[in-house]
Amino acid sequence: KAGVTQTPRYLIKTRGQQVTLSCSPISGHRSVSWYQQTPGQGLQFLFEYFSETQRNKGNFPGRFSGRQFSNSRSEMNVSTLELGDSALYLCASSYALLWQEAFFGQGTRLTVV
């Protein structure tokens, strides 16, 4: 079956702009999580959605937001981009049962200039 699909794969934006990233989970998966990966901070949890509801949020400013649609597809938005937002953004989907495997997409590489 198809894996987790993230689009676009690469993105270059200017400081102050906003950006929207998309994630299509594996069919049947209802939980979608987002992570930010940077060389300095490593992998950090952004938020998790299940059935269109945000159930958990990491320690990120309000400029980072997300949503999930009825078909489980998810988007995350970053407004007023800063240079420090440059990172690989990874989406993961799962059946949302405890301790089940999370399947990751290849990520979107965001560069803010």
Partner 1 sequence: GDSVTQMEGPVTLSEEAFLTINCTYTATGYPSLFWYVQYPGEGLQLLLKATKADDKGSNKGFEATYRKETTSFHLEKGSVQVSDSAVYFCALESPGSGYALNFGKGTSLLVTP
List residues binding partner 1 (CB under 8 A).
Answer: 4, 31, 33, 35, 42-45, 48, 50, 55-56, 58, 90, 92, 94, 96, 98-99, 101-107
Of residues 14 and 40, the one with the C-beta less far from partner 1: 40
Min dist. Cβ of residue 30 to partner 1 (A): 11
DSSP run (H or E) holding 88 = strand 87-94
CA-nearest of 112, 111, 107 to 22 is 107
Phi then psi for 8, rounded to 5 degrees? Answer: -75, 175
Min dist. Cβ of residue 74 to partner 1 (A): 14
Of residues 20 and 44, the one with the C-beta less far from partner 1: 44
Exposed (0-12), middle (13-18) or buried (19+): which is 28, by Cβ within 10 Å? exposed
Of residues 77 and 106, the one with the C-beta less far from partner 1: 106
